[in-house]
Amino acid sequence: MTSKPPSLQTTPLTWLRKNLFHTWVDGLLTIVSSVFVVWVVTGLLTWVFTRAQWSVVSTNLPLFFVGRYPASQSWRLWIVLSLVVVTIAFSILSQRSKSSRQKLLSYGLLVVSFFLSLWLIGGSGILTRVGTNLWNGLLVTLLVAIVTIGLAFPLGVLLALGRQSALPIVKGFCTAYIELVRGLPLIGVLFMALVMLPLVLPSQVRLDRVVRAIAGLVLFNAAYLAENVRGGLQSVPSGQIEAAKALGLNTPLILWLIVLPQALRAVVPAIVGQFISLFKDTSLLALFALVELIGISRSILAQPQFLGRYVEVYLFTGLIYWIFCYSMSIVSRRLEVKK
Amino acid sequence: MIRLWRNVRFWRFAGQAIAVILMVAVLAFLGSNLDRNLRQLNIRFGFGFLRSQAGFTIGETPIAYQPSDNYTQALVIGLLNSLKVIITGIVAATIVGVTAGIARLSDNWLVRHLAIVYVEALRNMPLLLQLFFWYFAVFLSLPSPENGISLGLITFSNRGVGLLGTQLSPEFSALLAGLTIYTGTFIAEIVRGGIQSVPRGQWEAARSLGLAPPLVLRLVVLPQALRAIIPSLSNQYLNLAKNSSLAVAVGYPDLYAIASTTFNQTGRAVEVMILICATYLSISLIISLAMNFYNRSVQFVER
């Protein structure tokens, strides 16, 4: 007769023993950290439900999201939002499908809906113009982040290719640019873009503040993206390039058809990571008088009836950033697992 | 003879020539605009202004300074303040990050999840926001020095942190807290990755030799993990140094803050820009060199 193996079922008690009180040091750690957790959680909860005055958030909710964008025109932003949702849904669906025509169509839709959104937000012709000084809050944070990644990515790929180039002058220039920018703080690069850019352009050219800020962010992020892409380029086996050469492809075609598709696929998680830090970095624009999410929080805090409600405002702003960044980091982790 | 457009050497030469011509053209265009614009503003390039009187007060001065001193002296104060926060920040962030990284791998469920919550909550929020939070919501909201909160040798009040007789300003404390806790989350992830890269067999072998778990970590795992950790860690140190320039947001007079005041007073954008770039590049270079040197010393010595 065979006896059953001993039961491995975890009762709450064995779970506690294994996970919280394995040794006496473990038990001590558990007690200390549970005291800490209880202290923090009770403190936070009593504050949230008794002392916090959430009216500063609830009355200013539209300000956080769209700032001083005229309320009579806000229907335009709703259209933009639905356009974004449709575009994202369509591109996810078409990524799954095999037909390359549908993929091409989704890229087309992306470009069209981007410019359509820009027109809807800014307005010209039949729509009343809304100046960029009225684009505030989350609206401008998202817009700046998306435009920046769209421009910095191709520039970063070019810089990475340049750094790998066989032409010494091109290589030297790209390496110098990448290393120079990566040694500088973003605030310095933004200072350069906002203060120096008007000085090095002809005086007739007047660039909008938002455009200059985007230029600074693009110049900065392109250098970091270039380093990410370079990692991907180095991960493509040289046999691939030799095989392509043996087939008689010329250098641009080898890059376009063989190297870049493999290299970029390998670095998608790193690029998402760079996008997350870019999204957080847009907050620095608040230091240059651009009223993005942090800028609008500061002007809300300057309202006389809400003076000193720092914790409520900063917690709420932090939550908005956190939701975006955390969901992107989950996407990046998924992509990493898929590989 | 090969046709010209089929000749690789021709294309190499042409490619370089085109690159040089483009670069020279762009630089000449920007340079001539700069020259014209500066002439219109009546500014002549030169660093002579550094010898004129600064005229502004600085909140925190590690060495003696009066508003009657010149810009050079003010900028030196800024540099010293920057170095002060960078060095203390690197030490503190390393301690916080290594602790959280080890806690992240703890067998203790509660400790592990505390570390996860810390890392995931704080690295997904902008540093600038955290600095504002620390400065306005924490340090300036503390009670006045008379009824400050005292924890043994440390006292907290709205005039800053008192530590063994020295008083740290609320600006410095907020900046240090923000930089430490933000960078600590990234260091924690690096330490966790480094420890996980050490093969499981190393743990088991050390345990079966009779070493206690803390000793296994200290003598066997960490020395091996360091090899994977150091390169990413030095990147985080560089980030911390660069991020210290956000000091201007909480009013700590670091190098960038003083340079930007200098620009506002003198209007000398180009010179100030050059100074900012040169200083931060040197700081980055020094950190890279030091970390490379350390990296070489922890790498595996092949027999």
The answer to whether A170 contacts chain B (CB < 8 Å) is yes
Whether residue B173 contacts residue B161, with contact meaning beta carbons closer than 8 Å, is answered with yes
The whole-number pLDDT of residue B44 equals 84
What pLDDT, in 10s, does the model give residues B44-81?
888 989 999 988 999 888 899 999 999 999 999 999 99
Contacts of B250 (CB under 8 A, 6+ apart): B131, B132, B134, B135, B171, B174, B175, B178
What pLDDT, in 10s, does the model give residues B157-201?
888 888 877 889 999 999 999 999 999 999 999 999 999 999 999
Q: Do B130 and B19 lie in a common domain? A: no
Work out the number of other CB atoms within 10 angstroms of the CB of residue B140: 17
Distances (CA, A) of A195 to B40, B267, B269: 16, 10, 7
d(CA A6, CA B269): 77
Residues from chain B contacting residue A195 (CB–CB below 8 Å): 263, 269, 273
CATH assignment of the domain containing B53: 1.10.3720.10
Residue B86 lies in a domain: yes
Provide the domain count of chain B.
2
Distance of residue B38 Cα from the nearest chain A Cα, in angstroms? 7
Q: How confident is the model at residue B96 (pLDDT cuts 50, 70, 90)?
A: very high
Work out the number of other CB atoms within 10 angstroms of the CB of residue A112: 12
Q: Do B198 and B94 lie in a common domain? A: yes
Task: Report the SS3 class of residue A10.
Answer: coil
The whole-number pLDDT of residue B241 equals 96
Q: Do B20 and B70 lie in a common domain? A: no
Amino acid at A150: G
Mutate: best of B6, B34, B192, B245, partner A, most A CBs <10 A: B245
What are the structural domain ranges in chain A? 70-130, 136-338
Mutate: best of A280, A319, A328, partner B, most B CBs <10 A: A280
Whether residue B82 contacts residue B282, with contact meaning beta carbons closer than 8 Å, is answered with no
The whole-number pLDDT of residue A153 equals 94
Whether residue B161 contacts residue B140, with contact meaning beta carbons closer than 8 Å, is answered with no
Question: What's the token pair of residue B110?
Answer: 């509660």
Q: Do B8 and B149 lie in a common domain? A: no
Q: Do B33 and B56 lie in a common domain? A: no
Residue B288 lies in a domain: yes
The whole-number pLDDT of residue A88 equals 86
DSSP class of residue A181 equals H
Residues from chain A contacting residue B23 (CB–CB below 8 Å): 173
Q: Do B36 and B93 lie in a common domain? A: no
DSSP class of residue A72 equals G
Whether residue B209 contacts residue B202, with contact meaning beta carbons closer than 8 Å, is answered with no
The alpha helices in A164-236, defined as continuous H runs, are 168-182, 186-191, 197-200, 209-235
Q: Phi first, then psi: give them for residue B275, nearest 5 degrees.
A: -65, -45
Q: Do B152 and B190 lie in a common domain? A: yes
Residues from chain B contacting residue A180 (CB–CB below 8 Å): 277, 281
Residues from chain A contacting residue B137 (CB–CB below 8 Å): 310-311, 314
d(CA A249, CA A255): 10
Q: How confident is the model at residue B303 (pLDDT cuts 50, 70, 90)?
A: low
Residue B198 lies in a domain: yes
d(CA A187, CA A182): 12
Q: Do B17 and B72 lie in a common domain? A: no
Q: Give the DSSP H/E element, type plus range, for residue B179.
A: helix B170-196
What string of pLDDT tens digits covers the 339 residues of chain A? 567 766 666 788 888 887 778 788 888 888 999 999 999 999 999 998 888 888 999 999 989 998 888 888 888 989 999 998 998 888 888 877 777 788 788 888 888 988 988 888 888 778 888 888 888 899 999 999 999 999 999 999 999 999 988 888 999 999 999 999 999 999 999 999 998 898 898 888 888 889 999 999 999 999 999 999 999 999 999 899 999 999 999 888 999 999 999 998 888 888 999 999 999 999 999 999 899 999 999 999 999 999 889 999 999 999 999 999 999 999 888 887 765
The whole-number pLDDT of residue A8 equals 66
Is the predicted pLDDT of residue B265 greater than 80, yes or no? yes
Residue B303 lies in a domain: no
The whole-number pLDDT of residue A1 equals 56
Distance of residue B198 Cα from the nearest chain A Cα, in angstroms? 20
Q: Do B34 and B58 lie in a common domain? A: no
Q: Do B59 and B185 lie in a common domain? A: yes
Q: Phi first, then psi: give them for residue A261, nearest 5 degrees.
A: -55, -40
Contact A20 B124 (CB under 8 A): no
Whether residue B257 contacts residue B276, with contact meaning beta carbons closer than 8 Å, is answered with no
Work out the number of other CB atoms within 10 angstroms of the CB of residue A7: 8
Q: What is the ipTM of this complex?
A: 0.90
Q: Do B195 and B125 lie in a common domain? A: yes
Contact A321 B126 (CB under 8 A): yes
**Residue of A214, A224, A146 lying closest to A184 (CA atoms):** A224
Q: Do B36 and B133 lie in a common domain? A: no
Does A136-338 carry CATH code 1.10.3720.10? yes
Question: What's the token pair of residue A323?
Answer: 């939701």
Long-range Cβ contacts of B283-291 (<8 Å, 24+ apart): B283/B82, B283/B83, B283/B86, B283/B241, B284/A182, B284/A183, B284/B238, B284/B241, B284/B242, B285/A183, B287/B234, B287/B237, B287/B238, B287/B241, B288/B234, B288/B238, B291/B230, B291/B231, B291/B233, B291/B234, B291/B237
Distance of residue A128 Cα from the nearest chain B Cα, in angstroms? 34
The whole-number pLDDT of residue A22 equals 78
The domain in which residue B226 lies consists of 48-298
